[in-house]
Structure 1
């Protein structure tokens, strides 16, 4: 699956606008958000200027600090009743080294409490994930390969067809322990917002 420059430019513009809006709605300066998220203010300013799509771990840290679902940074508007997502048109986010990728299997339009992803890990790849918002859970199923998922209560080895449900509001990790690419499907569920 190849993403065109236009696809990435569209995604960069969407992330830029959403980040700017969410940051200003919460009264945060670029510098303050950068400190809280552990991201250089110059990097945040570059993202807001549409200078590119940041690595997936950077987006996760920003979403956590802003206390919004990850998809809020990627959302491009309200979704209709039926949406077909063509593989060639989906956006893929990658780790800094490109050995871990995440493809959203839901439309970016609109906010949601549940998100569905395809994850791919190269042989030997490991992805460390920061804690997500309080009450977030992850339900993973291994479609191909053998992986180790490290949760708050330790490591769990999963083979093809195995699944795991865990609390993702603590740091966790995904490791490909096999010789080939590992493919996983992830359903992430955020806690219902508390209305006071």
Structure 2
């Protein structure tokens, strides 16, 4: 991991540990609630892991705080500003793809705003999020193919799409140049223990 990724991992680890200890939970209790291994929790808290977005979602949901809370200051602010280049890069690929969480709201009804770039041939698969989750995206550059359930749609610049995020879905760039899209995710009732029990392959960084 480079310096910025290491800094982010340490910040996430510190926040996870703080939230776990605030609840008086052991490592095993958080691991069980999140549906991940104890070793993963230890590695995340130590900043030694490079967890997938899916793993972070499981942990944040178990803690009842939402994914944005793991990458932001624990002190709530009525107005939050993320300057260009200051978003949390939670996914990268060898082709130059990036998934950057640029803004988010607090639980229980969490809204995440993402800036995604997919390199040529890149794809990103996501497990089904918690029940009631909705996703909205708009393509800013290139073309993006979205596979949502039984529907596969290719979107071009300016095209938008809304679809349920509580089914398995994926985004892919089948073009020869980079593709970019803005993604908003609405996840209601974070922390209510309703996340579906599904595996989450291929969501982490490439390293």
TM-score w.r.t. the length of structure 1 is 0.78
Pick from 143, 148, 173 the counterpart of residue 146 of structure 1: 143
Secondary structure of the residue that 1:54 maps to in structure 2? coil
Q: Which residue is equivalent to 1:175?
A: 172
Matched, 1:69 2:66: yes
Q: Which residue is equivalent to 1:18?
A: 15
Unpaired stretches in structure 2, ≥5 consecutive residues:
193-207
Shift of 1:69: 2.3
Pick from 171, 188, 193 the counterpart of residue 191 of structure 1: 188
Distance 1:98 1:73 in 2: 27
Distance 2:154 2:69 in 1: 31
Does the aligned pair in 2 maintain the 1:131–1:168 contact within 8 Å? yes
The aligned length equals 190
Matched, 1:51 2:48: yes
Deviations 1:153-195 (A, max 9, x none): 3211111111111110111111111111110101111124699
Using CA pairs under 8 Å that are at least 6 residues apart, name the structure with larger relative contact order, 1 or 2: 2
Unpaired stretches in structure 1, ≥5 consecutive residues:
none
Of 90-99 and 143-152, the range deviating more from structure 2: 90-99
For the structure 1 residues 96 and 20, does the alpha-carbon distance in structure 2 shift closer, same or farther, using more than 3 Å as the test?
Answer: farther
For the structure 1 residues 95 and 55, does the alpha-carbon distance in structure 2 shift closer, same or farther, using more than 3 Å as the test?
Answer: farther
